């Protein structure tokens, strides 16, 4: 088994990377509220368009405040570089579009966030990109058989939302690399505090920064992290290893060998789509990142106690929380998530949809909202909300039934959280 590193220490050390104030500078990272940057001459502007790493061009795809946050997140994940986006969905979308085009395919675990299922299964299909769904519990042989000659990537979620399955990163990475394609991992629920997928073989990491990284529900955002380790010159990715006609013949692997993937994503996709976060949003995200290492252990501790309490109720059919020793994914959690398995619990109420709705509407401390991974406890009925667009077959594949409830345990006193759950159970 791979040695588990003390990610808590790594975390604390890295939290202040990206912006380090010097003598006479502000203690807090400044907000550069500007769309525009001034140059000394026309030739200076031309030089930056030839090589965007020299300076800033325009805030549609780069901003000094966001740049600091990108460097911080890249350090936290152990990556070479990062690019923030306006949402987690935008990060997932660009992570695929950066290496796939019409006629290509990619493999994805069927146990991922419902919004991403819709994005991959419907929206990308309209663009001529096929998503090949593979069960998260597939054997290496089953996974291997899913690859096609035109397959360009593999995608999975460390802790799936809301199925709470744990992704076997190392096994899926080995399969991807056997076929010379990268593994992309959505690490939103784990955060780099609980798991650093790059250490287990992932090549690209994405996040919805709206969740635990922010932690306070004040900004919507996403990020893509490039490990800088994948060999894009293996012949399968001419979009990176051959001249880019849309950017005066740039060959990303030659001109930007440290992080060609993220450089292409910024110079090509962010230039065209412009889904970049505002400076103020990045400032707020940075505040959340500075307390990430303090908040995550409390989320995990509170959630484990809440999961044990829920599992003891005779009104509950099943509890899904990898931190429980009885959970199907507990052994994988011990391998990849030794510090805890986040603050999110899924459980099925006996009696199906009607019983689930009755229980949720009886909660008083926990708020019913379309959000997760907040400092405040919140609850959601996935089949009625985030996964409402999925068919019955897709709901089953994602591990969702009518009685399933997603509980995001916050930082309130655990006794108050348990008391709220108890009184809601008592009213059923």
Distance of alpha carbon 330 from the chain centroid: 21
Encoded tokens for 341: 């398995």
Is there a contact between 167 and 109 (Cβ–Cβ < 8 Å)?
A: yes
Ordered strands of the 378-380 beta sheet: 316-320, 344-349, 404-408, 378-380, 367-368
Question: Tell me: the pLDDT tens digits for 70-89?
Answer: 999 999 999 999 999 999 99
Task: Please state which of the ranges 16-20, 24-28, 310-314, 325-329 shows the lowest mean pLDDT.
Answer: 16-20
Task: Please state which of the ranges 6-10, 123-127, 260-264 shows the lowest mean pLDDT.
Answer: 6-10
Considering only residues 132 and 17, tell me which one the structure prediction assigns the higher pLDDT: 132
Q: What pLDDT is recorded for position 49?
A: 86
Encoded tokens for 251: 């060959």
Helix (H, G, I), strand (E, B) or coil at 183: strand
**Sequence spans of domains, the chain:** 7-287, 294-426
CATH tag, 7-287: 3.40.640.10
Question: Tell me: the pLDDT tens digits for 394-414?
Answer: 766 666 777 889 999 999 999
Helix (H, G, I), strand (E, B) or coil at 324: coil
Q: What pLDDT is recorded for position 379?
A: 96
Question: Is it the case that residue 210 has pLDDT exceeding 80?
Answer: yes
DSSP label of 166: B
Is there a contact between 259 and 228 (Cβ–Cβ < 8 Å)?
A: yes
How many angstroms separate the CA atoms of 210 and 216, rounded?
8
Question: Tell me: the pLDDT tens digits for 60-73?
Answer: 989 999 999 999 99
How many angstroms separate the CA atoms of 11 and 118, rounded?
33
How many angstroms separate the CA atoms of 46 and 51, rounded?
9
pLDDT averaged over every residue in the chain: 92
Helices 352-362 and 414-426: angle between axes, nearest 10 degrees: 130
CA end-to-end span of the chain, whole Å? 45
Question: Is it the case that residue 386 has pLDDT exceeding 70?
Answer: no
How many angstroms separate the CA atoms of 227 and 229, rounded?
5
Is there a contact between 292 and 213 (Cβ–Cβ < 8 Å)?
A: yes
Is there a contact between 37 and 58 (Cβ–Cβ < 8 Å)?
A: yes
Residue owning tokens 């006609």: 245
Is there a contact between 224 and 83 (Cβ–Cβ < 8 Å)?
A: yes
Domain covering 294-426 assigned CATH 3.90.1150.10 in the classification? yes
Q: What pLDDT is recorded for position 389?
A: 66
How many angstroms separate the CA atoms of 50 and 115, rounded?
37
Question: Tell me: the pLDDT tens digits for 184-199?
Answer: 999 999 999 999 999 9
Q: What pLDDT is recorded for position 24?
A: 87
Give strand pairing partners of 349.
316
Residues 6+ apart with CB under 8 A from 16: 72, 290
Pick from 193, 180, 293: nearest CA to 230: 180
Question: Is it the case that residue 297 has pLDDT exceeding 60?
Answer: yes
How many angstroms separate the CA atoms of 132 and 110, rounded?
9
Average the pLDDT over 239-263 and give the result: 96
Task: Please state which of the ranges 45-54, 191-200, 259-268, 394-403 shows the lowest mean pLDDT.
Answer: 394-403
Q: What pLDDT is recorded for position 393?
A: 73
Encoded tokens for 1: 């088994």
Ordered strands of the 105-109 beta sheet: 81-85, 222-226, 204-208, 183-186, 151-157, 105-109, 130-134
Question: Is it the case that residue 274 has pLDDT exceeding 50?
Answer: yes
Is there a contact between 376 and 134 (Cβ–Cβ < 8 Å)?
A: no
Question: Tell me: the pLDDT tens digits for 282-295?
Answer: 999 999 999 999 99
Q: What share of the chain is helix, strand, coil (3-state, %, to 5)?
A: 40, 15, 45
How many angstroms separate the CA atoms of 40 and 98, rounded?
33
How many angstroms separate the CA atoms of 213 and 207, rounded?
9
Question: How many alpha carbons fall within 13 Å on the CB side of residue 50?
Answer: 6
Q: What pLDDT is recorded for position 48?
A: 87
Alpha-carbon distances of 358 from 269, 318, 405, rounded to whole Å: 45, 17, 11
Give strand pairing partners of 345.
407
Q: Residue 171 — pLDDT band, cuts 50, 70, 90?
A: very high
Q: What pLDDT is recorded for position 387?
A: 61
Question: Is it the case that residue 11 has pLDDT exceeding 50?
Answer: no
Residues 6+ apart with CB under 8 A from 326: 311
Q: Where are the beta strands (DSSP E) in 97-213?
A: 105-109, 130-134, 151-157, 183-186, 204-208
Considering only residues 245 and 396, tell me which one the structure prediction assigns the higher pLDDT: 245
Encoded tokens for 149: 């000659």
């Amino acid at each position: 088994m791979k040695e588990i590193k003390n990610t808590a220490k790594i975390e604390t050390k890295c939290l202040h990377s990206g912006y380090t104030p010097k003598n006479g500078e502000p203690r807090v990272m400044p907000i550069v509220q500007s769309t525009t940057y001034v140059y000394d001459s026309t030739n200076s502007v031309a030089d930056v368009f030839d090589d965007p790493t020299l300076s800033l061009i325009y805030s549609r795809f780069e901003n000094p405040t966001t740049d600091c946050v990108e460097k911080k997140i890249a350090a936290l994940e152990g990556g070479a570089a990062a690019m923030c986006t306006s949402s987690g969905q935008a990060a997932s979308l660009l992570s695929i579009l950066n290496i796939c085009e019409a006629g290509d395919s990619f493999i994805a675990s069927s146990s991922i966030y419902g919004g991403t299922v819709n994005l991959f299964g419907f929206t990308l299909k309209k663009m001529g990109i096929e998503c090949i769904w593979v069960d998260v519990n597939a054997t290496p042989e089953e996974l291997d058989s899913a690859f096609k000659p035109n397959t360009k990537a593999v995608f999975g979620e460390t802790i799936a939302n809301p199925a709470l399955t744990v992704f076997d990163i190392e096994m899926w990475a080995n399969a991807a690399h056997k076929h010379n394609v990268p593994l992309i991992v959505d690490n939103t629920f784990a955060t780099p505090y609980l798991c650093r997928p790059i250490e287990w073989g992932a090549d690209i990491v994405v996040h919805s920064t709206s969740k635990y990284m922010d932690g306070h529900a004040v900004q919507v955002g996403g990020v893509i992290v490039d490990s800088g380790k994948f060999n894009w010159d293996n012949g399968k990715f001419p979009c990176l290893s051959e001249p880019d006609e849309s950017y005066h013949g740039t060959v990303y692997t030659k001109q930007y060998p440290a992080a060609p993937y993220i450089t292409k994503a910024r110079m090509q996709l962010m230039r065209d789509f412009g889904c970049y976060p505002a400076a103020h949003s990045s400032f707020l995200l940075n505040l959340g990142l500075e307390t990430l290492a303090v908040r995550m252990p409390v989320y995990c501790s509170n959630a484990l106690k809440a999961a044990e309490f829920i599992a003891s109720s005779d009104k509950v059919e099943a509890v899904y929380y990898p931190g429980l020793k009885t959970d199907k994914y507990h052994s994988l959690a011990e391998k990849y998530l030794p510090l805890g398995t986040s603050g999110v619990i899924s459980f099925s109420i006996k009696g199906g949809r009607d019983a689930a709705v009755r229980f949720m509407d009886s909660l008083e401390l926990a708020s019913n909202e379309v959000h997760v991974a907040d400092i405040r406890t919140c609850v959601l009925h996935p089949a009625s909300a985030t996964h409402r667009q999925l068919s019955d077959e897709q709901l089953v594949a994602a591990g969702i039934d009518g009685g399933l409830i997603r509980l995001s345990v916050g930082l309130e006193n655990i006794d108050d959280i348990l008391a709220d759950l108890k009184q809601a159970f008592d009213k059923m």
